[in-house]
Every structure is written in C-alpha cells, then in structure tokens.
Structure 1
C-alpha cells in the first residue's frame, strides 16, 4: 500500500526579497526536515519563464504533519509570508499509484 504524500509548492518571491536571508533560512529548514522520520526528498525546478516549483516527498501524512507543525518551520513560514513571498500556493497530494522504478541498460 502506497502512503507517500507529495507537496507541490509554487511560491513567488517578492522583487525586494533579501536573497541572502532567504537562502540561509532555506538551508536551515532543509537541515531540520532532512532529519525528520518520514522525510523522503525535496527538489526544485525552474522553468524558462522563471516559475519555480518545489516538490516535497514524505512517507506519510503523519510525517508531513510533523514537519508542518515543527516550531521552527511554523516561525519560518510566518517570516516567509511577511518578508519573502508575494504570492503562491501549496498542493498536498496523496500518491494513488506508483509505477517503477524503471531500469534500462
């Protein structure tokens, strides 16, 4: 039974965002989330038009909830909305089917 949870984030930075502070916070958050049980991965992708999508993978809803409610993450989310992000959205998705992995020689 698959129980993975995927979070897709499309958060747009403000033009005046302090990128040094943003990068430091991102590194700090990754150092925390990567140690939590049930965290699987995070990857970001940037399109030619500048849109950036970030995909988080967690092993379960409980693992995601532990991250969502982690005190440092809660404070960082507040700071993100106040200082860095102009707009965006998150989509929380349950994996209903998984095919693969594929291996080609």
Structure 2
C-alpha cells in the first residue's frame, strides 16, 4: 500500500538481560500496538547466521507516529536501552512503489 511505513529492527540483547522480563514487556507492547488504528503487522525472521530482523508495518506515517509517541512505548524504549539491548538499529522506510501481489494461473 502506497504510503505504508515499514520499520526494520535488528536489536541485540545484552549478556545477562532477563529474557523472561523482555518477553513479558514484548507481549505487553504487542498487545498495545496491535490495538492502535493503522497497525498492520509485525513479523520476525532469523537468518542462517543467527541475525534476526523484525518488520513492523503501519498504514501511514500518522499511525507510526501514534505508536512512536505512545507513553507506554516511550517507557519500553527507555527500558530497552537501559536494561536489554547491547546494540542494534531501526530503519524507518516509506513504501513508494508496490508491485503485486502476483498470482500464477495454470
């Protein structure tokens, strides 16, 4: 969908970070983001070399901004930097062209 926003994340947990607490926070954030208008999906992919990428899809810049500025999400991002992440990056991308979906007919 033109105007759709894609956030690509590659965040590495630090040694000693509480996996259980991180998972609980992640579940809480998923419950919150999935209830916001314009949130489309989130999916994670793991490569053979162990790198894991997460893709978040939002219908518009406005819907992404609602998520980015939500007070609970701001607090979760703060905790991520302080408690959980050793390194990583986020890339914010806007869909400028879409081709497909393709269907093969026999």
Q: TM-score, normalised by structure 1?
A: 0.95
Aligned equivalent of 1:21: 21
In structure 1, list runs of 5 or more residues that go unmatched. Answer: none
Matched, 1:48 2:48: yes
Q: How is 1:52-67 mapped onto 2 (pairs within 5 angstroms)?
A: 52-67=52-67
Q: Give RMSD over aligned pairs.
A: 1.2
In structure 2, list runs of 5 or more residues that go unmatched. Answer: none
Aligned equivalent of 1:69: 69
Query: SS of the residue aligned with 1:86?
Result: strand
How far the C-alpha of 1:103 sits from its partner, in A, is: 2.5
Query: SS of the residue aligned with 1:57?
Result: strand
How far the C-alpha of 1:102 sits from its partner, in A, is: 1.9
